[in-house]
Amino acid sequence: MPDVQPIGIDLGTTCSAVAYIDEHGKTAMVRNAEGEVLTPSVVLFDEEEIIVGREAKKAAGVEVGKVAECAKRDMGRESYAKLINGKEMPPEVIQAYILKKLMLETEAALGTQVKAVITVPAFFDEVRRKATTDAGEMAGLEVLDIVNEPTAAALAFGEAAGYLEDDGTPREMMRVLVYDLGGGTFDVTLLELRPGDVRTLATDGDTHLGGRDWDQQLADHAADAFAAQYGSDPREDPGSLVRLMRAVEEAKHTLSIRNRTKIHVEHAGQALDLSLTREEFYDITAHLLERTAYTAGEVLRVAGKTWQDVSKVLLVGGSTRMPMVPEMLEKLTGIEPDSSIYPDEAVARGAAVFARYVMDQGAGDKQPSFTVVDVNSHSLGILGIDQETKRKENVIIIARNTPLPARAARNFVTKTDNQKSIVVQVLEGESTAPEHCSVIGKAVLRNLPPGLKQGWPIRVTYQYGTNGRLSVRAVVPGTEREIVMELEREQGLSSDRLKQWKQTLTAEVGRKRSASTIPAEQQSVMTPTQRKAPPAAQRVAKAAKTPTATPAAAAASPIAAQRAAPQATTTAPQATTTAPQATTTAPQATTTAPQAATVMQPAATEVVSSPASSETVLRPKNKKGLKVWYYLAGYIISATVGLSIGYVLMCMINPEADFLNIWVPGVEAPSEEE
């Protein structure tokens, strides 16, 4: 074994796996301490110890408030979906404990230190990718790179089919559609395989669609039947709900083999055995399957291909074992899906191949025998203001499905004389409306040279790496100054909290320890309703508030003053694509966009200190509460004045009338006759 072994880690929603390259140059799976290839992605935070894997999953039914599972679906959020031991916990910390176990057991099995490539869904945005890298850092794992799961699966297939070795053996170009339905996420990617070359054409997906959603549909079906019979709902009790989810998961697995099964539901001392057929299961979950079929069709449309252009459909992910999946795909494509690569192992094996590829790239005396070209799954843009309409908009700089690495530049101009700083709001998403995109952070260009006139050019460049990570650079022409700007992300852990959690995770997973070793400032007690929403760069756009800049800075606002400018050319290896407004470069090439007039628009904020992380954050001023009191006082005053004036006028018209009909004590009330 080498001194450092490259490995591939499939960090899954429900299960994780590790693979490596053996002495024969082929991929092999690593078995965990329990002797199994798959490790459940479940963590038990007990008072005295932290347990990862099978035993943690067993405890989920009785230790509901201590067990975290499916944390991958919450990556990019500020905290995990539920409280653990009454406390909030970042989802990347939960992932770090899983990675820690995988790393330690792999090093023990291989007898050497490891460096890893970790897989992520192709549709993960930049925030989620960074969170995954942070999880590896906290676990003490050296992360070589991040690779998309469908790309990894294609590499595993390419290895088996001999496409990764350019040995002169004649092979035809093959287009492979990778259909990856895991426990919590879904991706579809179209790739081209040639000898020694793996190239992604287009990708799409849903980070909140997976086998877990099929389970949820069955759980709702069973819970409704139980409630109809007994008048109580098992979903209202956390323990009953966990047991119900385990029961429907087993029923789903059984229906992949048999045509009929039963779901056993227990709650409040009562039980129900609900019969379920495979056909009923199909009917209950048909809408979920239709979503995946639609996404597959969209990938082909974006790539400009038809099903006749597809050579093979590759099944990846444990949820593709449901018979409904291959049946739907064969009917849709006319191609019998290929499951020759074990669905649970394909991603980890491909990640191991990619890890060797990355290691060979870094070695001076050895070059990889194949190349890999991936694409970005989301467009990157800048928050801008249209000069004509004055409306905010997302101006896309690097379009979705651009070959990586990519680089694109755009010219800006200053808003005022002697402007001191500029804020570039970085957006991720396809919509032109900023509220439907994800604000992944801001890059601040500070301390501009004195004496700059209004309209002075500022050139901003986006550099998008092969792993989907972004860096931002700016140049002030005429001043011989180039500034590298670190992206200040709106989501994720600060560097200080990363260090604190890394110290916490230095203890071996499973080793007894006091709960007090978790830093107190990381145990903020917030109710679930106070948590921030996830990033919105998903297929179904979710509204996200746009943060504003400090008074000393101004928001970079590209203006579409040159919308009618000729389209620029986007260059990719062996392909030419056109895109408006900006020119994006394919690997190792740099092209630039035509100059577009832009201004820097100021936006006021107040600086708030965050006690949880002891760092300064920017938040818009909130005057909503004050306005409510103003409105309430106004309503009371206006109503009182209006009633008083009306009463005076009526008394002037008829002085003898008692309009208020008030009975005064001591005065005899008039009779009905009077």
The domains of the chain are located at 4-209+286-373, 380-498+536-619
Higher local confidence (pLDDT), 523 or 350: 350
Segments in 334-441 forming alpha helices (H): 346-362
Over residues 185-214, the mean pLDDT reads 93
Cα separation values, 212 from 72, 225, 319, 607, Å: 12, 20, 9, 40
Q: Is 554 in a helix, a strand, or coil?
A: strand
In 448-560, where do the E strands start and end? 457-464, 470-476, 481-485, 554-558
Cα separation values, 162 from 144, 153, 340, Å: 25, 14, 14
User: pLDDT-derived band of residue 602, with 50, 70 and 90 as boundaries?
Assistant: very low
Q: How far apart are CA 75 and CA 84, in angstroms?
A: 16
**pLDDT tens, residue by residue, 229-261:** 999 999 999 899 999 999 999 999 999 999 999
pLDDT, position 132: 95
Span 380-498+536-619: which CATH code?
Answer: 2.60.34.10
User: pLDDT-derived band of residue 14, with 50, 70 and 90 as boundaries?
Assistant: very high
Strand 470-476 and strand 481-485: pairing?
A: antiparallel
Average pLDDT, the chain: 78
Length of the chain: 674
Q: How far apart are CA 615 and CA 225, in angstroms?
A: 50
- Comparing CA positions, the residue from 428, 403, 436 lying closest to residue 128 is 428
Helix H or strand E encompassing 651: helix 624-653
What is the four-CA torsion angle of 103, 106, 107, 113, rounded to 10 degrees?
-70
Q: Are 387 and 409 in contact (CB under 8 A)?
A: no
Q: Which residues, at least 6 apart from 341, have a Cβ–Cβ distance to it below 8 Å?
A: 153, 156, 157, 160, 314, 316, 349
Rounded percentage of the chain residues whose pLDDT exceeds 90: 46
pLDDT, position 220: 97
The backbone torsions φ and ψ at residue 15, rounded to the nearest 5 degrees and listed phi first, read -140, 150
| Residue environment code for 386-395, b if the CB has 16+ CB neighbours within 10 A, otherwise e | beeeeebbbb
pLDDT, position 499: 78
pLDDT value at 488 more than 70? no
Over residues 27-34, the mean pLDDT reads 95
Q: Are 328 and 293 in contact (CB under 8 A)?
A: yes
Higher local confidence (pLDDT), 102 or 653: 102
Cα separation values, 329 from 284, 320, 338, Å: 19, 10, 11
**pLDDT tens, residue by residue, 89-132:** 999 999 999 999 999 999 999 999 999 999 999 888 888 888 99
Q: Are 95 and 71 in contact (CB under 8 A)?
A: yes
pLDDT value at 557 more than 50? no
Over residues 455-469, the mean pLDDT reads 81
Architecture of domain 4-209+286-373: 2-Layer Sandwich (3.30)
**pLDDT tens, residue by residue, 414-444:** 878 888 887 788 898 999 899 999 888 787 7
Q: How far apart are CA 515 and CA 50, in angstroms?
A: 9
pLDDT, position 655: 72
Q: How far apart are CA 99 and CA 120, in angstroms?
A: 13
* Strand-pair partners of 332: none
* Angle 98-438-426 from CA coordinates, rounded to 5°: 105
Show the tokens assigned to 74. Answer: 């919450």
Show the tokens assigned to 489. Answer: 């992300």
Q: How far apart are CA 462 and CA 399, in angstroms?
A: 12
